């Protein structure tokens, strides 16, 4: 069974004004989500899926448009197995190597306990 992690680029701690600025022309035609920062409800989070259409230029432009905000790459894994080895997608590693930031993980086991 091949587990394919879902990967995202996140801008954390955005102000409402910074988010509105990014949502203009820069993110037009791009799939993304926004939400509240769970640590600081006055701040927003922008999440962009990392897939074959994600370019370094887009992420650099987002970083420039949100100067002073933190960013990371978020890798989400779900499986019925309680133990497995998963490789970080190479595109995530390439992008992270170019622009920096943390790599955060989420693992969810979907099997029922015995």
pLDDT digits (tens, 9 = 90+) for 72-104: 999 998 887 777 778 888 999 999 999 999 999
Asked if 43 and 70 count as a contact pair (C-beta separation under 8 A), the reply is no
How much is the pLDDT for 97? Answer: 95
How much is the pLDDT for 5? Answer: 86
User: What b/e sequence results for 87-112 when a residue is b if at least 16 CB atoms lie within 10 Å of its CB, and e otherwise?
Assistant: eebeebeebbeeeebeeeeeeeeeee
Residues of the chain with pLDDT under 50: none
Packing angle, helices 56-65 and 90-99, rounded to 10 = 40
How far from the centroid of its chain's Cα atoms is residue 37's Cα?
13
How much is the pLDDT for 1? Answer: 56
Give the residue carrying structure tokens 């989500």: 33
Q: Which residues lie below 8 Å from residue 35, measured CB to CB, with a gap of 6+?
A: 44, 45, 47
How much is the pLDDT for 51? Answer: 92
pTM of the model: 0.85
Ordered by where they begin, the domains of the chain are 6-109 (3.30.70.240)
């Amino acid at each position: 069974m091949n587990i394919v992690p879902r990967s995202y680029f996140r801008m954390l701690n955005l102000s409402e004004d910074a988010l509105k600025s990014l949502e203009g022309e820069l993110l037009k035609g791009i799939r993304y989500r926004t939400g509240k920062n769970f640590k600081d409800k006055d701040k927003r989070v922008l999440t962009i899926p990392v897939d074959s259409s994600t370019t370094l230029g887009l992420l650099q432009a987002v970083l420039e448009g949100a100067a002073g905000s933190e960013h990371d790459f978020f890798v989400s894994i779900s499986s019925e197995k309680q133990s497995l080895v998963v490789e970080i997608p190479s595109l995530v590693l390439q992008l992270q190597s170019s622009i920096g930031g943390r790599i955060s993980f989420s693992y969810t086991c979907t099997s029922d306990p015995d």
